Amino acid sequence: MQGDVEPGFSFDLDAFRAAYSRFLAPAEDAAPRILLTGHSHQAWPDVARDALAACFDDAARLVDGKWDDAVFPRRSAVGEAILERMGFARGDDIAFGQNTHELVYRLITSLPRGGRRRIVTTEGEFHSLRRQLARLGEDGVEVAWVSVEPRGSLPDRLLAALQPGTSMLAISAVLFESATVVPRLDEIVARAAEIGAVPLVDAYHAFNVVPIAWGGAAPHVFAVAGGYKYAAMGEGICWMRVPRGCALRPVFTGWFADFDSLAGSGGGVAYAPGGARFAGSTFDPSALYRAAAVLEHWDRFGLTVPRLRAISLRQTGRILGHLDAAGRGDDVVSPREPERRGGFVAVRAAQAGDVVRRLRARRVLVDARRDVLRVGPAPYLTDTEIDAGVAALLEELGR
């Protein structure tokens, strides 16, 4: 039995682990795995497998009728549940895509094209955004790269960079290399809106593990996230929350962006209201089936985002305790303060990629970004597994 994560809430870890029989079952003739990959690829619960079969069965039963009868109703229900878990109203607008890059690029192509565009971002953004902005910079877009170090004063540097004439702000809620929760997010977004810049927040490393208090930023912010990490939904399910009343017209657009008016189209390029204006074209609906099933899974076990946050903080605190006890505390990159720490622990290590490979041979799964190891617990892990996994990590760091 897991300890209480809040007064009156008791979490039955054994029952929860039983819902992951496929991912947590040891392979034949192999030792059990320790999945310290909760920050990158959380295990899928068994209901995700059942959802894939249901997707096939609906296609066989309904053929093209599956879209109106099964897919679009699921999309609406999934969207409402996701918005609530992100800290927005269930009735807000949302757009879906296969990945966040697809959605972010649509948003970028909707920026005004007259004059020189200027985008404020940080040097700590995920590879897809960093690469895309660097490429746009080659073609004349002015990109202001704000250093993330020292992290405590990052908000001040972002606020200073947000000068009139800025077209877009593009930053993360939690930095993907260090698990640092970016403070004063509402103030930064409000400043962007004040000067007429489109505020975009990458909330992927916050969704389902770090609650965000959007405050006064909520009416203005575009927020992207996805299901591959802490949500346990798998690939191909990402989304962007869109502020109400958005009238932007992305250049990168597909026919689903005005799906309902196709029959009466009279020429020109029209856009549906709400999040649909950022839609693409025909997509694989199986990801929506997985998402719907996994969201019900979280609800069935009473695992709200605040409860998942409490479990995560207890687990990352346990990992930090082991690192400190072994004299590796100075190698920790992640914040020590719980309110500033995201869902994993980052540890600096020489030849981090080699450490990852050696641990994988020992059936302990972590990952690395450059010279930083990322150790990500998940709610289905036992304390014994965490202890054993970190012990193996410390042995490999000592080699």
Give the pLDDT confidence of 216-245 residue by residue, as tens digits: 999 999 999 999 999 999 999 999 999 999
> Is pLDDT of 165 > 70?
yes
Q: What is the CATH number of domain 50-298?
A: 3.40.640.10
The better pLDDT of the pair 262, 7 is held by: 7
Residues of CATH 3.90.1150.10 domain(s) within the chain? 2-46+302-397
Q: Mapped to the 3 state alphabet, what secondary structure does the chain carry? A: CEEEEECCEEECHHHHHHCCHHHHCCCCCCCCCEECECCCCCCCCHHHHHHHHHHHHHHHHHHHHHHHHHHHHHHHHHHHHHHHHHCCCCCCEEEEECCHHHHHHHHHCCCCCCCCCEEEEECCCCHHHHHHHHHHHHCCCEEEEECCCCHHHHHHHHHHHCCCCCCEEEEECECCCCCEECCCHHHHHHHHHHCCCEEEEECCCCCCCCCCCCHHHCCCCEEEEECCCCCCCCCCCEEEEECCCCCCCCCCCCHHHHHHHHHHCCCCCCCCCHHHHHCCCCCCCHHHHHHHHHHHHHHHCCCCHHHHHHHHHHHHHHHHHHHHHCCCHHHECCCCCHHHECCCEEEECCCHHHHHHHHHHCCEECEEECCEEEEECCCCCCHHHHHHHHHHHHHHHCC
pLDDT at 11: 83
pLDDT at 1: 37
Report the alpha-carbon distance of residue 96 to residue 76 in Å, rounded.
10
The better pLDDT of the pair 187, 25 is held by: 187
Confidence of residue 3 (pLDDT cuts 50, 70, 90): very low
Residue corresponding to tokens 């593009």: 170
Residues of CATH 3.40.640.10 domain(s) within the chain? 50-298
> Is pLDDT of 198 > 50?
yes
How much of the chain, in percent, has pLDDT values that exceed 70?
96
Question: With contact defined as beta carbons under 8 Å apart, do 324 and 357 qualify?
Answer: no
Question: What top-level class would CATH report for the domain 2-46+302-397?
Answer: alpha beta
Confidence of residue 266 (pLDDT cuts 50, 70, 90): low
Averaged pLDDT, 202-219: 96
Per-chain mean pLDDT for the chain: 95
Confidence of residue 259 (pLDDT cuts 50, 70, 90): confident
Averaged pLDDT, 349-372: 96
Name the least confident of 2-6, 192-196, 258-262, 362-366: 2-6
